[in-house]
């Protein structure tokens, strides 16, 4: 403990003031989970790109918690062969499986098709989360990508999150699934801080989607969301995925990259005051 504190002080001393200011006190990581009701709404795109922006100024870790359809390594063009499945072995540590990504980002891959992990029992999952949580402490920011729909495996990750990004498109089906996810979160974690993020083509659509989401959350959960973020629908997102090169690096001036950077900057700023806390009525 003493050694860690000394190391931290030394690092802060070596750092430019603005970076030192952005670090969390006592080396405690701020954990951001990216989740959704429906799949294919832009979660992995958001997780990968905001983690890369955070890594520019902070120690950042990206965790692929989408155990059914792990694809962070594909988006980043990483192929280390080491993944979360290995963490089920008592002898395997997080440092053993974490790969090096761009900007100094550390990445724990999910391991595509790792069925035994997706179907792991409660005890195994809890041991895994404990192992991960201990590793998180060495970072300023941890971004966790999750599976769509809030199942037991996803809730494990949401429980350790300080902030939940609830991603949806502006389509009514996606918004309805986001509401279902918000309800599950409110029921299980009444004090969770949740930020809706809409991948959509313009501000007006995002506003309408937030209104639609709030209509149901106010009626059935008792409170709505004050704030939301928008990630523009942008053909460059698909191009970047095809090229296996993350958007904020390959097309930094594209509209979606600008929105993703804005979202990351929002996370970097102290946002306790604007937290959306959903409590069941």
The footprint of ligand ADP (CB under 6 A) covers 36, 39-45, 199, 231, 233-234, 237-238, 241, 256
Rounded (5°) CA angle 127-34-96 = 40
**Which pair of tokens denotes residue 177?**
């699934």
Q: Are 141 and 116 in contact, with CB atoms under 8 Å apart?
A: no
Q: Which is nearer to Mg ion, 65 or 224 (CB)?
A: 65
Q: Which is nearer to Mg ion, 44 or 254 (CB)?
A: 44
- Report the nearest approach of ligand ADP to the CB of residue 44 (Å): 3
By DSSP bridging, strand 106-108 and strand 99-100 are antiparallel
237 touches which of Mg ion, ligand ADP, none (CB within 5 to 8 A by kind)? Answer: ligand ADP
d(CA 108, CA 88): 13
- Report the nearest approach of ligand ADP to the CB of residue 268 (Å): 21
Beta-bridge mates of residue 196: 166
- Taking CB under 5 A as the criterion, the residue among 35, 36, 44, 174 binding Mg ion is 44
d(CA 202, CA 157): 31
- Report the nearest approach of ligand ADP to the CB of residue 92 (Å): 26
Q: Which is nearer to ligand ADP, 43 or 82 (CB)?
A: 43
Restricting to residues 50-79, name those near Mg ion by CB under 5 A.
66
- Report the nearest approach of ligand ADP to the CB of residue 1 (Å): 37
Q: Which helix (H) or strand (E) holds 265?
A: helix 255-268
Q: Tell me: does residue 109 bind Mg ion (CB under 5 A).
A: no
Residue 59 CB neighbour total at 10 angstroms: 19
Q: Which is nearer to Mg ion, 43 or 86 (CB)?
A: 43
**Is residue 281 exposed (0-12), middle (13-18) or buried (19+ Cβ within 10 Å)?**
exposed
d(CA 48, CA 85): 20
Q: Which is nearer to ligand ADP, 199 or 228 (CB)?
A: 199
DSSP reduced 3-state for 145? strand
261 touches which of Mg ion, ligand ADP, none (CB within 5 to 8 A by kind)? Answer: none
- Report the nearest approach of Mg ion to the CB of residue 23 (Å): 29
d(CA 138, CA 140): 7
256 touches which of ligand ADP, Mg ion, none (CB within 5 to 8 A by kind)? Answer: ligand ADP
Q: Which is nearer to ligand ADP, 146 or 217 (CB)?
A: 146
Interface residues with Mg ion (CB under 5 A)?
A: 43-44, 66
């Amino acid at each position: 403990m003493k050694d860690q504190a000394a190391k931290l002080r030394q690092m802060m001393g070596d750092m430019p003031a603005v970076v030192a200011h952005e670090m969390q006190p006592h080396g405690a990581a701020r954990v951001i989970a990216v989740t959704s009701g429906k799949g294919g709404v832009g979660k992995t795109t958001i997780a990968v790109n905001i983690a890369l922006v955070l890594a520019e100024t902070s120690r950042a870790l990206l965790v692929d918690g989408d155990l059914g359809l792990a694809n962070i390594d594909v988006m980043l063009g990483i192929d280390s062969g080491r993944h979360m499945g290995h963490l089920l072995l008592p002898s395997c540590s997080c440092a053993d499986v974490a790969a090096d990504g761009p900007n100094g980002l550390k990445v724990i891959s999910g391991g595509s098709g790792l069925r035994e992990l997706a179907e792991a029992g409660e005890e195994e999952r809890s041991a895994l989360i404990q192992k991960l949580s201990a590793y998180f402490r060495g970072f300023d920011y941890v971004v966790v990508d999750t599976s769509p729909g809030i199942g037991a495996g996803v809730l494990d990750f949401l429980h350790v999150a300080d902030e939940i990004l609830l991603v949806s498109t502006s389509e009514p089906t996606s918004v309805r699934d986001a509401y279902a996810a918000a309800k599950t979160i409110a029921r299980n974690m009444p004090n969770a801080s949740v930020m809706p993020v809409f991948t959509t083509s313009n501000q007006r659509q995002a506003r309408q989607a937030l209104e639609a989401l709030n209509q149901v959350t106010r009626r059935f959960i008792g409170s709505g969301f004050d704030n939301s973020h928008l990630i523009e629908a942008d053909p460059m997102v698909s191009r970047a995925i095809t090229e296996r090169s993350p958007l904020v690096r390959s097309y930094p001036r594209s509209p979606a990259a600008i929105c993703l950077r804005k979202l990351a900057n929002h996370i970097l700023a102290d946002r306790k005051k604007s937290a959306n806390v959903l409590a069941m009525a």
